[in-house]
Protein backbone atom coordinates (compact mmCIF):
# COMPACT_ATOMS: atom_id res chain seq x y z
CA UNK A 1 0.00 0.00 0.00
CA UNK A 2 1.40 3.42 -0.95
CA UNK A 3 1.80 6.16 1.64
CA UNK A 4 -0.95 8.16 -0.03
CA UNK A 5 -3.36 5.24 0.04
CA UNK A 6 -2.53 4.45 3.68
CA UNK A 7 -3.00 8.11 4.62
CA UNK A 8 -6.39 8.20 2.89
CA UNK A 9 -7.56 5.09 4.72
CA UNK A 10 -6.44 6.58 8.05
CA UNK A 11 -8.20 9.89 7.49
CA UNK A 12 -11.43 8.45 6.12
CA UNK A 13 -11.60 5.82 8.88
CA UNK A 14 -11.43 8.68 11.37
CA UNK A 15 -14.21 10.50 9.51
CA UNK A 16 -16.41 7.43 9.67
CA UNK A 17 -16.09 7.28 13.44
CA UNK A 18 -19.28 6.56 15.29
CA UNK A 19 -21.33 6.53 12.09
CA UNK A 20 -20.04 3.07 11.26
CA UNK A 21 -21.62 1.79 14.46
CA UNK A 22 -25.06 2.27 12.91
CA UNK A 23 -24.15 0.95 9.46
CA UNK A 24 -22.54 -2.36 8.49
CA UNK A 25 -18.83 -2.06 9.25
CA UNK A 26 -16.56 -2.98 6.31
CA UNK A 27 -13.74 -3.58 8.79
CA UNK A 28 -15.65 -6.71 9.88
CA UNK A 29 -16.03 -8.09 6.37
CA UNK A 30 -17.15 -11.63 7.30
CA UNK A 31 -20.04 -10.10 9.22
CA UNK A 32 -20.93 -7.89 6.26
CA UNK A 33 -21.00 -10.89 3.91
CA UNK A 34 -23.11 -12.89 6.36
CA UNK A 35 -25.64 -10.06 6.67
CA UNK A 36 -25.73 -9.61 2.90
CA UNK A 37 -26.75 -13.20 2.21
CA UNK A 38 -30.30 -13.32 0.87
CA UNK A 39 -30.66 -9.56 0.48
CA UNK A 40 -32.17 -7.93 -2.62
CA UNK A 41 -30.25 -4.93 -3.95
CA UNK A 42 -32.03 -2.32 -6.05
CA UNK A 43 -29.21 -0.91 -8.18
CA UNK A 44 -30.32 2.30 -9.89
CA UNK A 45 -28.14 2.68 -12.99
CA UNK A 46 -28.43 4.16 -16.45
CA UNK A 47 -30.13 1.67 -18.76
CA UNK A 48 -29.51 3.21 -22.16
CA UNK A 49 -26.70 0.99 -23.44
CA UNK A 50 -27.28 -2.73 -24.11
CA UNK A 51 -23.62 -3.66 -23.45
CA UNK A 52 -23.74 -2.06 -20.01
CA UNK A 53 -27.07 -3.69 -19.22
CA UNK A 54 -25.63 -7.07 -20.18
CA UNK A 55 -22.60 -6.49 -17.97
CA UNK A 56 -24.79 -5.64 -14.98
CA UNK A 57 -26.82 -8.78 -15.66
CA UNK A 58 -23.58 -10.80 -15.59
CA UNK A 59 -22.61 -9.18 -12.29
CA UNK A 60 -26.05 -10.04 -10.90
CA UNK A 61 -25.47 -13.69 -11.77
CA UNK A 62 -22.07 -13.68 -10.08
CA UNK A 63 -23.43 -12.04 -6.94
CA UNK A 64 -26.25 -14.56 -6.73
CA UNK A 65 -23.90 -17.52 -7.14
CA UNK A 66 -21.19 -16.23 -4.80
CA UNK A 67 -23.13 -14.43 -2.07
CA UNK A 68 -26.81 -15.27 -2.45
CA UNK A 69 -27.54 -11.63 -3.33
CA UNK A 70 -30.35 -10.74 -5.75
CA UNK A 71 -29.26 -7.68 -7.75
CA UNK A 72 -32.13 -5.87 -9.49
CA UNK A 73 -31.07 -3.38 -12.17
CA UNK A 74 -33.45 -0.41 -11.95
CA UNK A 75 -32.85 1.21 -15.34
CA UNK A 76 -32.93 5.00 -15.22
CA UNK A 77 -32.64 7.65 -17.92
CA UNK A 78 -31.37 10.44 -15.67
CA UNK A 79 -29.58 9.93 -12.36
CA UNK A 80 -30.93 13.27 -11.17
CA UNK A 81 -34.32 11.55 -10.85
CA UNK A 82 -32.78 9.06 -8.40
CA UNK A 83 -31.40 11.91 -6.31
CA UNK A 84 -34.85 13.51 -6.28
CA UNK A 85 -36.41 10.20 -5.26
CA UNK A 86 -34.09 9.72 -2.27
CA UNK A 87 -34.56 13.37 -1.26
CA UNK A 88 -38.36 13.01 -1.47
CA UNK A 89 -38.23 9.92 0.73
CA UNK A 90 -36.10 11.80 3.25
CA UNK A 91 -38.54 14.69 3.27
CA UNK A 92 -41.33 12.19 3.93
CA UNK A 93 -39.39 10.76 6.90
CA UNK A 94 -38.42 7.51 5.21
CA UNK A 95 -34.95 7.25 6.73
CA UNK A 96 -34.84 3.45 6.58
CA UNK A 97 -36.15 0.91 4.11
CA UNK A 98 -35.45 3.28 1.22
CA UNK A 99 -36.19 2.26 -2.36
CA UNK A 100 -32.59 2.74 -3.60
CA UNK A 101 -29.78 0.52 -2.29
CA UNK A 102 -27.02 1.43 -4.74
CA UNK A 103 -26.74 4.12 -7.41
CA UNK A 104 -24.33 4.66 -10.32
CA UNK A 105 -23.33 8.27 -9.90
CA UNK A 106 -20.82 11.08 -10.34
CA UNK A 107 -20.55 14.81 -10.91
CA UNK A 108 -23.35 17.13 -9.95
CA UNK A 109 -25.55 14.26 -8.77
CA UNK A 110 -22.95 13.20 -6.22
CA UNK A 111 -22.54 16.83 -5.16
CA UNK A 112 -26.31 17.10 -4.67
CA UNK A 113 -26.52 13.90 -2.61
CA UNK A 114 -23.63 15.04 -0.45
CA UNK A 115 -25.14 18.51 0.01
CA UNK A 116 -28.45 17.07 1.20
CA UNK A 117 -26.88 14.36 3.43
CA UNK A 118 -28.33 11.55 1.34
CA UNK A 119 -25.30 9.24 1.45
CA UNK A 120 -24.26 6.48 3.82
CA UNK A 121 -21.63 7.36 6.42
CA UNK A 122 -18.23 8.45 5.03
CA UNK A 123 -15.28 6.12 4.78
CA UNK A 124 -16.92 2.87 3.76
CA UNK A 125 -15.48 2.84 0.24
CA UNK A 126 -11.84 2.98 1.36
CA UNK A 127 -12.50 0.13 3.80
CA UNK A 128 -13.67 -2.32 1.14
CA UNK A 129 -11.26 -5.26 0.77
CA UNK A 130 -10.70 -4.51 -2.93
CA UNK A 131 -9.88 -0.85 -2.30
CA UNK A 132 -6.26 -1.96 -1.93
CA UNK A 133 -6.17 -2.47 -5.73
CA UNK A 134 -7.37 1.04 -6.61
CA UNK A 135 -4.82 3.24 -8.41
CA UNK A 136 -5.05 6.38 -6.27
CA UNK A 137 -1.61 7.56 -7.39
CA UNK A 138 -2.06 7.20 -11.16
CA UNK A 139 -5.80 7.98 -11.24
CA UNK A 140 -6.36 10.81 -8.75
CA UNK A 141 -9.89 11.37 -10.08
CA UNK A 142 -10.96 8.45 -7.84
CA UNK A 143 -10.49 10.83 -4.91
CA UNK A 144 -12.40 13.86 -6.19
CA UNK A 145 -15.64 13.93 -8.11
CA UNK A 146 -15.94 17.07 -10.27
CA UNK A 147 -13.81 18.97 -7.70
CA UNK A 148 -15.85 17.61 -4.75
CA UNK A 149 -13.87 15.43 -2.32
CA UNK A 150 -15.12 11.88 -2.25
CA UNK A 151 -14.10 11.06 1.36
CA UNK A 152 -15.07 7.42 0.90
CA UNK A 153 -18.73 8.30 0.31
CA UNK A 154 -18.72 6.51 -3.05
CA UNK A 155 -16.68 3.67 -4.51
CA UNK A 156 -14.88 4.12 -7.86
CA UNK A 157 -16.20 1.89 -10.62
CA UNK A 158 -14.65 3.06 -13.88
CA UNK A 159 -12.75 5.75 -15.74
CA UNK A 160 -13.75 8.04 -18.57
CA UNK A 161 -12.09 10.62 -20.77
CA UNK A 162 -13.26 12.62 -23.75
CA UNK A 163 -11.76 11.20 -26.93
CA UNK A 164 -12.26 11.92 -30.62
CA UNK A 165 -12.76 9.23 -33.26
CA UNK A 166 -11.57 9.39 -36.85
CA UNK A 167 -11.48 6.93 -39.73
CA UNK A 168 -7.93 6.51 -41.02
CA UNK A 169 -9.32 5.68 -44.46
CA UNK A 170 -10.98 9.06 -44.88
CA UNK A 171 -9.09 11.32 -42.44
CA UNK A 172 -5.55 10.17 -41.75
CA UNK A 173 -4.45 13.33 -39.91
CA UNK A 174 -7.31 14.63 -37.76
CA UNK A 175 -7.32 18.02 -35.98
CA UNK A 176 -5.59 17.69 -32.62
CA UNK A 177 -6.23 21.08 -31.03
CA UNK A 178 -9.37 23.17 -30.62
CA UNK A 179 -7.99 25.76 -33.03
CA UNK A 180 -7.26 23.07 -35.60
CA UNK A 181 -10.75 21.65 -35.04
CA UNK A 182 -12.31 25.06 -35.67
CA UNK A 183 -10.28 25.46 -38.86
CA UNK A 184 -11.37 22.00 -40.01
CA UNK A 185 -15.05 22.77 -39.34
CA UNK A 186 -14.86 26.03 -41.27
CA UNK A 187 -13.12 24.31 -44.18
CA UNK A 188 -15.46 21.29 -44.17
CA UNK A 189 -18.98 22.58 -43.42
CA UNK A 190 -21.50 20.05 -42.24
CA UNK A 191 -18.89 17.45 -41.32
CA UNK A 192 -18.85 17.90 -37.52
CA UNK A 193 -21.42 18.05 -34.75
CA UNK A 194 -21.89 17.12 -31.09
CA UNK A 195 -24.88 15.90 -29.04
CA UNK A 196 -27.30 18.53 -27.87
CA UNK A 197 -26.73 19.64 -24.25
CA UNK A 198 -27.80 18.77 -21.62
CA UNK A 199 -26.97 15.35 -23.03
CA UNK A 200 -23.94 14.24 -21.02
CA UNK A 201 -21.56 14.00 -23.98
CA UNK A 202 -22.69 17.31 -25.44
CA UNK A 203 -22.19 19.01 -22.08
CA UNK A 204 -18.76 17.39 -21.80
CA UNK A 205 -17.77 18.94 -25.13
CA UNK A 206 -18.82 22.32 -23.74
CA UNK A 207 -16.74 21.68 -20.62
CA UNK A 208 -13.75 20.78 -22.81
CA UNK A 209 -14.06 24.19 -24.44
CA UNK A 210 -14.44 25.84 -21.04
CA UNK A 211 -11.43 24.30 -19.32
CA UNK A 212 -9.26 24.95 -22.39
CA UNK A 213 -10.37 28.49 -23.24
CA UNK A 214 -11.35 30.08 -19.91
CA UNK A 215 -9.05 32.98 -18.97
CA UNK A 216 -8.77 31.80 -15.35
CA UNK A 217 -8.66 28.00 -15.08
CA UNK A 218 -8.45 28.07 -11.28
CA UNK A 219 -11.76 29.95 -11.09
CA UNK A 220 -13.46 26.84 -12.48
CA UNK A 221 -12.53 24.89 -9.34
CA UNK A 222 -14.87 27.15 -7.37
CA UNK A 223 -18.62 27.65 -7.80
CA UNK A 224 -19.70 29.86 -10.67
CA UNK A 225 -21.11 33.24 -9.71
CA UNK A 226 -23.06 35.98 -11.47
CA UNK A 227 -19.89 38.07 -11.36
CA UNK A 228 -17.45 35.62 -12.98
CA UNK A 229 -19.59 33.42 -15.24
CA UNK A 230 -19.86 35.67 -18.28
CA UNK A 231 -16.13 36.46 -18.27
CA UNK A 232 -15.06 32.83 -18.11
CA UNK A 233 -17.50 31.53 -20.73
CA UNK A 234 -17.08 34.38 -23.21
CA UNK A 235 -14.33 32.54 -25.18
CA UNK A 236 -16.54 29.43 -25.29
CA UNK A 237 -19.42 31.24 -26.92
CA UNK A 238 -17.08 33.14 -29.23
CA UNK A 239 -15.77 29.75 -30.42
CA UNK A 240 -19.26 28.29 -30.78
CA UNK A 241 -20.55 31.37 -32.60
CA UNK A 242 -17.86 30.81 -35.23
CA UNK A 243 -18.43 27.09 -35.77
CA UNK A 244 -22.19 26.72 -35.29
CA UNK A 245 -23.28 27.85 -38.79
CA UNK A 246 -20.81 25.32 -40.25
CA UNK A 247 -21.92 22.31 -38.19
CA UNK A 248 -24.00 19.39 -39.45
CA UNK A 249 -27.37 20.78 -40.56
CA UNK A 250 -25.91 24.26 -40.03
CA UNK A 251 -26.40 23.93 -36.28
CA UNK A 252 -30.19 23.88 -36.66
CA UNK A 253 -30.36 20.36 -35.21
CA UNK A 254 -28.11 18.13 -33.11
CA UNK A 255 -27.91 14.39 -32.45
CA UNK A 256 -29.68 13.50 -29.23
CA UNK A 257 -26.99 11.27 -27.75
CA UNK A 258 -23.79 9.32 -28.36
CA UNK A 259 -25.61 6.57 -30.25
CA UNK A 260 -27.01 9.03 -32.81
CA UNK A 261 -23.62 10.74 -33.10
CA UNK A 262 -21.93 7.39 -33.71
CA UNK A 263 -24.50 6.52 -36.37
CA UNK A 264 -23.81 9.76 -38.25
CA UNK A 265 -20.10 8.98 -38.10
CA UNK A 266 -20.61 5.36 -39.22
CA UNK A 267 -22.73 6.55 -42.15
CA UNK A 268 -19.95 9.03 -43.03
CA UNK A 269 -22.23 12.02 -42.65
CA UNK A 270 -19.59 13.41 -40.31
CA UNK A 271 -15.81 13.04 -40.28
CA UNK A 272 -15.30 12.96 -36.51
CA UNK A 273 -17.15 11.65 -33.50
CA UNK A 274 -16.85 12.09 -29.76
CA UNK A 275 -17.10 9.60 -26.96
CA UNK A 276 -16.42 9.65 -23.23
CA UNK A 277 -15.28 6.03 -23.27
CA UNK A 278 -11.72 5.52 -24.56
CA UNK A 279 -12.61 1.92 -25.49
CA UNK A 280 -15.77 2.85 -27.37
CA UNK A 281 -14.17 2.57 -30.82
CA UNK A 282 -12.91 -0.93 -30.12
CA UNK A 283 -16.28 -2.05 -28.78
CA UNK A 284 -18.16 -0.52 -31.72
CA UNK A 285 -15.78 -2.17 -34.20
CA UNK A 286 -16.31 -5.53 -32.50
CA UNK A 287 -20.09 -5.05 -32.76
CA UNK A 288 -19.88 -4.12 -36.43
CA UNK A 289 -21.08 -0.57 -35.75
CA UNK A 290 -17.87 1.05 -37.01
CA UNK A 291 -15.25 0.00 -39.58
CA UNK A 292 -11.98 -1.47 -38.37
CA UNK A 293 -10.06 1.56 -39.59
CA UNK A 294 -11.52 3.86 -36.89
CA UNK A 295 -9.07 5.05 -34.25
CA UNK A 296 -9.46 7.16 -31.09
CA UNK A 297 -7.26 10.08 -30.07
CA UNK A 298 -7.01 12.74 -27.37
CA UNK A 299 -6.48 16.41 -28.15
CA UNK A 300 -2.99 17.79 -27.60
CA UNK A 301 -2.86 19.20 -24.10
CA UNK A 302 -5.33 16.67 -22.76
CA UNK A 303 -9.07 16.32 -22.40
CA UNK A 304 -11.78 16.27 -19.75
CA UNK A 305 -11.71 13.08 -17.72
CA UNK A 306 -13.22 11.69 -14.57
CA UNK A 307 -14.11 8.60 -12.63
CA UNK A 308 -17.58 7.26 -12.14
CA UNK A 309 -18.71 5.65 -8.92
CA UNK A 310 -21.35 3.71 -7.06
CA UNK A 311 -22.85 5.15 -3.88
CA UNK A 312 -25.11 3.87 -1.12
CA UNK A 313 -27.95 6.16 0.06
CA UNK A 314 -28.18 6.74 3.80
CA UNK A 315 -31.66 5.18 3.77
CA UNK A 316 -30.81 2.03 1.80
CA UNK A 317 -32.72 -1.08 2.84
CA UNK A 318 -29.86 -3.52 2.22
CA UNK A 319 -26.60 -1.76 3.05
CA UNK A 320 -24.59 -4.93 3.65
CA UNK A 321 -25.56 -6.29 0.25
CA UNK A 322 -24.74 -2.93 -1.34
CA UNK A 323 -21.26 -3.05 0.24
CA UNK A 324 -20.64 -6.55 -1.08
CA UNK A 325 -21.84 -5.48 -4.53
CA UNK A 326 -19.55 -2.42 -4.57
CA UNK A 327 -16.62 -4.57 -3.49
CA UNK A 328 -17.34 -7.16 -6.19
CA UNK A 329 -17.46 -4.43 -8.84
CA UNK A 330 -13.93 -3.44 -7.73
CA UNK A 331 -12.55 -6.97 -8.02
CA UNK A 332 -9.89 -7.63 -10.70
CA UNK A 333 -12.18 -10.17 -12.38
CA UNK A 334 -15.13 -7.78 -12.62
CA UNK A 335 -12.91 -4.85 -13.63
CA UNK A 336 -11.14 -6.85 -16.35
CA UNK A 337 -14.43 -8.04 -17.80
CA UNK A 338 -15.76 -4.47 -17.77
CA UNK A 339 -12.61 -3.23 -19.56
CA UNK A 340 -12.98 -5.80 -22.34
CA UNK A 341 -14.31 -3.83 -25.36
CA UNK A 342 -16.30 -6.86 -26.50
CA UNK A 343 -18.18 -6.73 -23.19
CA UNK A 344 -18.34 -3.03 -22.25
CA UNK A 345 -14.94 -1.42 -22.71
CA UNK A 346 -14.97 0.76 -19.59
CA UNK A 347 -11.41 1.49 -18.37
CA UNK A 348 -10.39 0.11 -15.01
CA UNK A 349 -9.75 2.09 -11.82
CA UNK A 350 -7.24 -0.51 -10.64
CA UNK A 351 -3.45 -0.36 -10.54
CA UNK A 352 -2.79 -3.19 -12.98
CA UNK A 353 0.95 -3.23 -12.31
CA UNK A 354 0.29 -3.79 -8.62
CA UNK A 355 -1.90 -6.84 -9.12
CA UNK A 356 -0.75 -10.41 -8.71
CA UNK A 357 0.35 -12.34 -11.79
CA UNK A 358 -2.96 -14.15 -12.30
CA UNK A 359 -4.99 -10.95 -12.02
CA UNK A 360 -2.61 -9.02 -14.30
CA UNK A 361 -3.07 -11.72 -16.92
CA UNK A 362 -6.78 -10.85 -17.07
CA UNK A 363 -5.83 -7.48 -18.55
CA UNK A 364 -2.94 -8.54 -20.80
CA UNK A 365 -4.96 -9.37 -23.90
CA UNK A 366 -6.65 -5.95 -23.86
CA UNK A 367 -3.35 -4.18 -24.60
CA UNK A 368 -3.11 -5.81 -28.05
CA UNK A 369 -6.13 -4.01 -29.55
CA UNK A 370 -5.05 -1.20 -31.96
CA UNK A 371 -8.37 0.60 -31.46
CA UNK A 372 -7.66 0.99 -27.73
CA UNK A 373 -5.76 4.02 -26.51
CA UNK A 374 -2.70 3.09 -24.45
CA UNK A 375 -2.66 4.76 -21.02
CA UNK A 376 0.25 7.00 -22.07
CA UNK A 377 -1.94 8.63 -24.74
CA UNK A 378 -4.80 9.31 -22.33
CA UNK A 379 -2.81 11.91 -20.43
CA UNK A 380 -3.04 14.57 -19.27
CA UNK A 381 -6.53 14.30 -17.86
CA UNK A 382 -8.09 17.74 -17.43
CA UNK A 383 -10.07 18.31 -14.25
CA UNK A 384 -13.80 18.76 -14.41
CA UNK A 385 -15.01 22.25 -13.42
CA UNK A 386 -17.15 22.70 -10.34
CA UNK A 387 -20.63 21.25 -11.08
CA UNK A 388 -22.21 24.71 -10.91
CA UNK A 389 -20.41 25.68 -14.13
CA UNK A 390 -22.03 22.78 -15.98
CA UNK A 391 -25.53 23.75 -14.91
CA UNK A 392 -25.10 27.38 -15.93
CA UNK A 393 -23.30 26.50 -19.15
CA UNK A 394 -26.09 24.14 -20.23
CA UNK A 395 -28.73 26.79 -19.58
CA UNK A 396 -26.77 29.47 -21.40
CA UNK A 397 -26.18 27.15 -24.38
CA UNK A 398 -29.89 26.36 -24.61
CA UNK A 399 -30.83 30.03 -24.63
CA UNK A 400 -28.23 30.83 -27.29
CA UNK A 401 -28.41 27.83 -29.61
CA UNK A 402 -31.07 25.39 -28.48
CA UNK A 403 -34.18 27.28 -29.56
CA UNK A 404 -33.36 27.51 -33.29
Confidence (pTM): 0.74
Q: Give the per-residue pLDDT at 284.
A: 87
Please give the full DSSP string across 223-265, using - where no structure is assigned. ---TTTHHHHHHHHHHHHHHHGGGSGGGGS---SSHHHHHHHH
Q: Give the per-residue pLDDT at 404.
A: 55
Residues 67 and 65: their CA atoms lie apart, in Å, by 6
Residues 386 and 384: their CA atoms lie apart, in Å, by 7
Q: Give the per-residue pLDDT at 378.
A: 65
Residues 184 and 177: their CA atoms lie apart, in Å, by 10
Q: Give the per-residue pLDDT at 13.
A: 52
What does the pLDDT profile of the chain (404 residues) look like in tens digits?
A: 565 665 555 555 555 444 444 799 999 999 999 999 999 999 999 998 898 999 999 999 999 999 999 999 999 999 999 999 999 999 999 999 999 999 999 988 999 999 999 999 999 999 999 999 999 887 888 998 877 899 999 999 998 899 999 999 999 999 999 999 999 999 999 999 999 999 989 999 999 999 999 999 999 989 999 999 999 999 999 999 999 999 999 999 999 999 999 999 999 999 999 999 888 898 889 889 999 999 999 999 889 988 999 999 999 999 999 999 999 999 999 999 998 888 888 889 999 889 999 999 998 877 778 888 766 676 677 888 888 899 999 999 999 998 55
Q: Which helix (H) or strand (E) holds 148?
A: strand 148-149
Spatial contact of 151 and 143, defined as CB atoms under 8 Å apart: no
Residues 12 and 32: their CA atoms lie apart, in Å, by 19
**Which stretches within 48-133 are classed as H helix?**
50-67, 79-91, 108-115
Q: Give the per-residue pLDDT at 107.
A: 84
Cα end-to-end distance, the chain, whole Å: 55
- Walk me through the domains of the chain, giving residue ranges and CATH numbers: 3-158+307-372 (3.40.190.10), 163-304+381-401 (3.40.190.10)
Residues 33 and 112: their CA atoms lie apart, in Å, by 30
Residue 205's alpha-carbon distances to 79, 109, 317, 329, 340, in angstroms, are 20, 19, 38, 28, 25
Amino acid sequence: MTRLKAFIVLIVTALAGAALAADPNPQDWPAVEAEATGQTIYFNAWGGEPRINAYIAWAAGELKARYGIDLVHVKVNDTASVVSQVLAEKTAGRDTNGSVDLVWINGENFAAMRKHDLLMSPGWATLLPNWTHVDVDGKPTVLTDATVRVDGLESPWGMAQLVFLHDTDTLADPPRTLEALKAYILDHPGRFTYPQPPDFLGSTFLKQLLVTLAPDRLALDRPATDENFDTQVAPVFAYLDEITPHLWRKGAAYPANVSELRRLFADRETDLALTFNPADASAAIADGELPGTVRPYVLDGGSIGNSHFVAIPYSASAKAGALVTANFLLSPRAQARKADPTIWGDPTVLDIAGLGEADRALFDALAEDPALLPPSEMRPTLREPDPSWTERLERAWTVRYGTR
